Chains A and B, each alone.
Chain A
Amino acid sequence: EVQLVESGGGLVQPGRSLRLSCAASGFTFDDYAMHWVRQAPGKGLEWVSGISWNSGSIGYADSVKGRFTISRDNAKNSLYLQMNSLRAEDTALYYCAKDRVGATTGWFDPWGQGTLVTVSS
């Protein structure tokens, strides 16, 4: 069974940093691109970032470019999101999701259960 488990969320002050992790199991991790998608409380889905199977192709939403960094460790079957200079508007449930292929151009299936990030003083 494919499983994605996010961790690392929590309460953080504006301007500080946080690193999210996503542990993957049940599939050959280094065959697939991976993504982070977030959902602010009561709002819709927002794609945050995606990374190809070999980290050769990486993309970011304009809202986080220059502040967030996505990475992966294929040896550890893990995906990461380093979030710097956090703002109140970054408060959201952050989901990890598997792409259908090695490139970051497909659909997302499955999704993890998410980890909550709250940015507040």
Chain B
Amino acid sequence: SYVLTQPPSVSVAPGQTARITCGGNNIGSKSVHWYQQKPGQAPVLVVYDDSDRPSGIPERFSGSNSGNTATLTISRVEAGDEADYYCQVWDSSSDHQVFGGGTKLTVL
């Protein structure tokens, strides 16, 4: 089955840029979606189809996808961005949806 690998944690100072990676075999050929989950809350979609943003999501959130790595980039990080972030793809081979293990973003 298809596996997505994320770093368990990323730390960044306020105002700096956070980059959260999602690794998978030839993930560049798939559409990658990203979710933000704050403690006690349901996940919220922040990026879909590699780099598109739903309405209401700040432009500070962006995404890219190439080769074996997709990346969620959060610019000018704020304290309110502290959360767990998950990547997700649909694996056509198994017809299964797949999530990465999640990355805890800490704002120092």
Partner among B44, B54, B96, B99 whose Cβ is within 8 Å of the Cβ of A45: B99
Instruction: Give me the interface of B with A, judged by CB distance under 8 Å.
Output: 1, 33, 35, 37, 42-45, 48-49, 54, 84, 86, 88, 90, 92, 95-102
- What chain B residues lie within 8 Å of A37 (beta carbons)? 99
Known: A45-B102, A47-B98. A107 touches B43 (CB 8 A): no
Stretch with Cβ within 8 A of B (4 or more), from A20-28, A81-89, A108-116:
A108-116
- What chain B residues lie within 8 Å of A95 (beta carbons)? 42-43
CA–CA, A108 and B44, complex, Å: 9
Q: How far, in Å, is B32 (CB) from chain A's closest CB?
A: 9
Known: A45-B86, A62-B1. A111 touches B96 (CB 8 A): no
Partner among B43, B49, B84, B102 whose Cβ is within 8 Å of the Cβ of A111: B43
Q: Using an 8 Å CB-CB cutoff, how does the interface string of A85-115 with B read, 1 for contact, 0 for none?
A: 0000000000100001000111111111110
Partner among A100, A111, A114 whose Cβ is within 8 Å of the Cβ of B48: A100
Q: How far, in Å, is B10 (CB) from chain A's closest CB?
A: 15
Partner among B44, B49, B96, B101 whose Cβ is within 8 Å of the Cβ of A44: B101
Nearest B residue (CB) for A45: B99
Secondary structure at chain B's binding surface: helix, strand, loop or mixed? strand
- What chain B residues lie within 8 Å of A50 (beta carbons)? 97
A residues 31-50 touching B (CB-CB < 8 Å) = 35, 37, 44-47, 50
Q: How far, in Å, is A65 (CB) from chain B's closest CB?
A: 10
CA–CA, A95 and B88, complex, Å: 15
- What chain B residues lie within 8 Å of A100 (beta carbons)? 48
Partner among A61, A112, A113 whose Cβ is within 8 Å of the Cβ of B96: A61
Nearest 4 A/B pairs, CB to CB: A107-B33, A47-B97, A44-B102, A109-B45
A residues 1-37 touching B (CB-CB < 8 Å) = 35, 37
Q: What are 8 A-B pairs with beta-carbon distances under 8 A?
A: A47-B99, A59-B97, A61-B96, A95-B42, A100-B48, A105-B90, A108-B43, A108-B88
| Contact present for B102 and A108 (CB under 8 Å) | no
